[in-house]
Chain A
Amino acid sequence: EVQVVESGGGLVQAGRSLRLSCVASGFSFDDYAMHWVRQAPGKGLEWVSGINWSSGRTGYADSVKGRFTISRDNAKNSLYLQMKSLRAEDTALYYCAKDMARGIRGDFDCWGQGTLVTVSS
């Protein structure tokens, strides 16, 4: 079964850091781009960041550029999101999502259950 499982969320003070992880199984992880998408409470979906299959290309939303860093370890079938200088507006459920392509294309055909990040001001 193709699945991704997020972890690492929690309650953190504004200005602090947090690192999210996503472990994949059921597919060849190093053949696909991966992404983080978030959803603030009661709000819509917001793409946060994506990384291609080889880590050769990354992309970020303007709202997190310079503060968040996406990375992956293909040997561990794992995706990461290092979040620094957290703000109250970063409070959200963070989803890990698998792309259907090697490059950053979108087409998220597998989503995790999400990990909740709450930033207190």
Chain B
Amino acid sequence: DIVMTQSPLSLPVTPGEPASISCRSSQSLLQSDGYNYLDWYVQKPGQSPQLLIYLGSIGASGVPDRFSGSGSGTDFTLKISRVEAEDVGVYYCMQALQTPLTFGQGTRLQIK
């Protein structure tokens, strides 16, 4: 199984400041079609998870453009250009390359 490792696990951020979350996979998520099979999700307090980024860097419908995904192979990053209070929640990366699909441990973003 592919192991997903996120860092940091806790991320306090001042509103208006940028934030960055790292995700590493135990094997490459880059397929021959040129896509990295890596998703980012956020679970806001009391809510179901929602898709932010898929195929490594493509923003899901309705996601603000302050969220961006980058990276390739085994190293990926989710960046928030300017954190807002509504961004509080737990962020997960997930590999979509092969079953069993596997998630990272989650990164809890808090507002300072």
- Count contacts between A and B, CB distance < 8 Å: 65
A112–B37 Cα gap in the complex (Å)?
23
Q: Which of A55-109 contact B (CB under 8 A)?
A: 59-62, 95, 100, 104-109
Most buried by A among B55, B101, B104: B101
CA of A47 to CA of B41 in the docked complex: distance in angstroms?
A: 13
Interface size in chain A (residues, C-beta < 8 A): 23
In this complex, the interface size class of chain B, counting residues with CB under 8 Å from chain A, is 20 to 34
Judge if B26 is at the interface, Cβ distance under 8 Å.
Answer: no
Q: Could you list some 21 contacts between A and B, CB below 8 A? A: A44-B92, A44-B103, A44-B106, A45-B103, A46-B103, A47-B102, A50-B99, A61-B100, A62-B1, A95-B48, A95-B49, A105-B37, A105-B96, A106-B39, A106-B94, A106-B101, A107-B54, A107-B55, A108-B39, A109-B51, A111-B49
* Contact surface of B with A, Cβ cutoff 8 Å: 1, 37, 39, 41, 43, 48-51, 54-55, 60-61, 90, 92, 94-96, 99-106
